[in-house]
Amino acid sequence: MVENVKELLKLHESITHEVYLDNENSTIVPQEVLDAMLPYYNKKAYGNPTLTHKPGWEAFETIMGCFGKISKYMGAKNLEEITFTPSETEANNLAIMASCFAQKDKGKKIVISEIEPINVLQVTEMMSKFGFSTTKIPVNSEGFINLEKLKEAIDSQTVLVSIAAVNNEVGTIQPIKEAVDIVKTKNPNTLFHTDASDAYGRIPLNVQQLGVDMATVSSFKIQGPRGIGAFYLKEGVNLERILEGPIGTQKLWPGVENTPLIVGFTKASELAFTDFEANVAKLRGLRDKLVDGIFNELTDLRFNGPKGDKRSPDNANISILRCEGEALTIELSLKGVYVSSGSACSRRLLQPSHVLIAIGRIFEEAHGSILMKVTRSHTEDDISYVLDVLPSAVNRIRGIVGSTGVH
């Protein structure tokens, strides 16, 4: 395996233009974010924010400022409603496990959509060990949840609903406020969580206006550093902590706060929310140029998810028939274009994307899907380069499939 990877990397040595579109699974951190982080490793605020000396006080002041900014960007009431976690995965685990344990005497039912992120699906499945059951709400062909089915699912035993604000694979912008109203009308005690990682920085997001009790956002999804995320908990909602250890500046997550990563996350947020409308317009323009160009050059395609304003502006997910997705990611990589085939989590399980299957795609369509996400760092030239190399890569793979008779 190691030798195969070394050989593959050697084949990339002559690449002169690289376009990274796999921003679902990791990201390139802009220089401005790196520059903001570096001083906090060895020049200032490198202390533990709970300790009584200058580096500790500097760290405390820095982190409090970051709490305030992230709470503002999320539309929270105050900075005490924000907790920094090591990632979106940990924040989703915190939301689901902590809320279930805190309400275990009120009921044992969880409700989610059938296209939730893998980490939500897995932690709700794990909660069955503690006697909790999970009901999955179906979606339509564009990935929108069935609100009538949601209404039917809520009962006196429902302690938690978790529905992502934007689907991470097909970009569907869910009607979260409408869903919250339905849930709270049927059972005011049911807590509502949304994974807003693919909404944050790309569509207007205000947790107070949505009415959610909890929300999750991720740093790397907006070109911040990996290893940091944020969790919103509405004032007055009580949860049980799921980890134990020394408590620093936040009650729900023990341990020493990672000041450089928190600073990097905050800087990435500042870049996303400064000139927000212009940033979103740029994302949408680049995404539309990419999608339109692919559909102009190739046939036998399926566009996955909704179009227009109902879709996140950065997201493009296309199924290319007679072209296996994994083979295409390798072929494009050799040309310096980096995409993913469905979600990385699904790929490692060697299964078709559960999201694409849920919206009605057959296995062939799901296995032939590629997921691309543009960022504000991309240029028109980057998209033009992708459109130059992608059709030939697809046609080459289709030619191999046709000549061998393999489908």
Task: Report the C-alpha gap between 83 and 259 in whole angstroms.
Answer: 13
Looking at the chain, the domain(s) classified CATH 3.40.640.10 span 32-273
Residue type for position 364: E
Which DSSP state fits 30? Answer: P
The letter for the amino acid at 39 is: P
pLDDT for 14: 84
Q: Which two tokens stand for residue 62?
A: 């820095």
| The token pair that represents 78 in the structure block | 């105050």
pLDDT-derived band at 10 (thresholds 50, 70, 90) equals confident
Give the per-residue pLDDT at 279: 97
pLDDT class for 343, splitting at 50, 70, 90?
very low
For position 406, what pLDDT does the model report? 46
> Which tokens sit at 241?
């902590």
Question: What are the start and end residues of each CATH 3.90.1150.10 domain in the chain?
Answer: 2-21+276-404
Separation in Å, CA 264 to CA 66, 197, 269, 276, 386 = 10, 16, 9, 18, 29
Return the structure tokens found at 31: 């220089």
- Identify whether the C-beta of residue 137 lies closer than 8 Å to the C-beta of residue 113: yes
pLDDT of residue 400 exceeding 90: no
CATH of domain 2-21+276-404: 3.90.1150.10
Give 36-57 pLDDT, tens digit per residue: 999 999 999 989 888 889 999 9
Q: What's the pLDDT tens digit per position in 298-324?
A: 999 999 999 999 999 999 999 999 999
Does 345 participate in catalysis according to the annotation? yes
E-strand ranges in 64-180 read: 82-85, 109-113, 133-137, 158-162
Strand-pairing partners, residue 162, are: 112, 193
Identify the pLDDT of residue 210: 98
Residue 179 parent element (H or E): helix 176-186
Contact 85, 214 (CB under 8 A): no
pLDDT at 407: 46
Burial track 123-162 (b if 16+ CB lie within 10 A, e otherwise): bbeebeeeebebbbbebeebbbbeeeebeebbeeebbbbb
Using pLDDT thresholds of 50, 70 and 90, give the confidence band for residue 291. Answer: very high
Q: Residue 247: which pLDDT band, with cuts at 50, 70 and 90?
A: confident
CA distances from 16 to 9, 193, 333, 337, 373 (A): 14, 44, 12, 11, 21
Write out the CATH class of domain 32-273.
alpha beta
Q: Tokens for 373, please give them.
A: 């996400």
Tens of pLDDT, residues 120-174: 999 999 999 999 999 999 999 999 999 999 999 999 999 999 999 999 999 999 9
SS3 190: coil
- 253, containing H or E segment: none
Task: Give Rg (Cα) of the chain.
Answer: 22
CB 318 within 8 A of CB 368: no
Q: Which of 66, 100, 323, 345 is an active site residue?
A: 345
Q: What is the pLDDT of residues 189-244, one digit of tens each?
A: 999 999 999 999 999 999 999 999 999 999 999 999 999 999 999 999 999 888 88
176, pLDDT greater than 60 = yes
- Reported as a single tens digit per residue, the pLDDT across 64-96 is 999 999 999 999 999 999 999 999 999 999 999
What is the structure's pLDDT at 241? Answer: 87
